Every structure is written in structure tokens, then in C-alpha cells.
Amino acid sequence: MTIFEIIGWTGAVSYLLSYFLLSFNKLKPNSISYQLMNVIGGFCLVVSAYSTRDNPNLVTNFVWMCIGLIALFSIIMKRKR
């Protein structure tokens, strides 16, 4: 197993775990934990997709990661007020 596969599996686990925890009300969509897990998952899957030149997967996960970053920033800014 290559480092890129390990990174990819880490991203997949992060996505799936965050969705599982959200679905069973262990996390809320506006929680830092949920959004951070999505950002980490997206980043890892972007790195993995880049290594295999899987551009549709790379773009999809990059956009997902950006959505998570924007949501994370928004949550943090609301908490500071």
C-alpha cells in the first residue's frame, strides 16, 4: 500500500465517519467537528485523486473541502460574536 492509498483511505474513513455520526445525531451539521472531518476527508481524497490523475474525483472532493472550509469559517466567526 502506498502513502497515497493510506491518505485516500484516511479521507474515506473521515467522510464516512462524519456522515455516520451526523445521521445518528452524534454530531450537528453546524459543529466544528463535523465540518473539520469533512475538510480533512476532502483534502485527503484530493491528494489521493491527484496521485492517480482522477480529475473528476479531485474536483468533486476539492469543492466539498471548500464548502467545509467556508462552513467552518462561518461557524468560527459566529462563535466569536
Quickly tell me which residue has 455516520 as its cell. 20
The reported pTM is 0.92
pLDDT at 9: 98
Helices 3-23 and 32-52: crossing angle in degrees, nearest 10, is: 150
Are the C-beta atoms of residues 5 and 48 closer than 8 Å to each other? yes
pLDDT in tens, 24-64: 999 999 999 999 999 999 999 999 999 999 999 999 999 99
